[in-house]
Amino acid sequence: MRKNNVIWLFASILIVISLVACGNEENPSKSSKDSNSKSNSVENSTTSTEKPKSKTSDDNNQVEDKDKKETEEDVYTASSDKKSDPQTSGNLLNKNKVFKYKDGSVVMTLTKAEFTKKFGPSNASPENDEAYRETTSDSQTYLHLTGKIKNDTKNSFSFGNKLGEINFSLLYDGEHEFQNISSAEEENGTKLGPSNIDALTEGKIHVYFQVPKPVSKTNKPLILTVILGDEPFEITLR
């Protein structure tokens, strides 16, 4: 009887040992399976992250190809904005120019020289078109001088014409010469009249040259010559 108990005890121990061994064998298998699953997940993750890198690389290549193409080309872009021609050029005189004639009894002062398409007397009404001078050709403009003459002599003083004692000429680029037309203001500055100043008076004057428009648009030399009697005085306008 006692012998049988020993045998059963020994058999029970073997069964327990056998069960423990089986449990240990299943765990490594499960661990291996989990490990393989994690490995596959990492690989899949790596693969998915590599795709954007490949796309970025392609984009960079496209940018490099575009830059390379641009460096091989000269690109010229025309402006769609049409610039209007300037109506005036500003004052070409850096300061007032004073000329004394007949021992100072006649004094002429030029205050402004500018390119313009239209001008008129100082007090002219804008609605009075007849008071203004305007070029009729788009290819022409005026070089317009303004100033005043003080006449302290006993006689009317004439200027800017064939019989005038003061005259003007304009030389462009050393070879193109232009002749003037002159007027004096009258009727309180509302009208342009003949080019003479009454005795013992002072009058506002206008001297103008009609010139081709290119004269106003270049930086080529422009010389105004003022002739007092027979004596010329040159003024560099540009």
Residue 126 in any domain: the answer is yes
Decide if 74 is inside a domain. Answer: no
Over residues 104-129, the mean pLDDT reads: 95
Q: Tell me the average pLDDT across 131-149.
A: 96
Domain for residue 31, yes or no? yes
pTM of the model: 0.63
- What's the domain range around 54? 1-62
Buried b (16+ CB within 10 A) or exposed e, 33-56: eeeeeeeeeeeeeeeeeeeeeeee
DSSP track, 163-210: T-SEEEEEEETTTEEEE-EEEEEETTTTEEE-SEE-TTEEEEEEEEEE
Task: Look at residue 75 and tell me if it is in a domain.
Answer: no
State mean pLDDT over 71-88. Answer: 53
The letter for the amino acid at 6 is V
pLDDT tens track for 146-173: 999 999 999 999 999 999 999 999 999 9
56 plus 103 within the same structural domain: no
118 & 164 share domain: yes
What DSSP line would sit under 61-117, residue for residue?
Answer: HHHHHHHHHHHT--------PPPPPPS------SS-EEEEETTTTEEEEEEEEEEES
Q: Indicate if 47 and 153 belong to the same structural domain.
A: no
Q: Is 226 a domain residue?
A: yes
Domain membership of residue 215 (yes or no) is yes
Q: Are residues 28 and 107 in the same domain?
A: no
Say yes or no: 113 and 217 in one domain. yes
Domain count, the chain: 2
Give the pLDDT score at 86. Answer: 40
Distance from C-alpha of 194 to C-alpha of 186, rounded to nearest angstrom:
9
Number of CB atoms found within 10 A of residue 93's CB: 17
Average pLDDT score, the chain: 81
Is the Cβ–Cβ distance between 137 and 118 less than 8 Å? no
Residue 212 belongs to some domain of the structure? yes
Average pLDDT of the residues in 217-234: 96
Cα distance between residue 223 and residue 231, in whole Å: 16
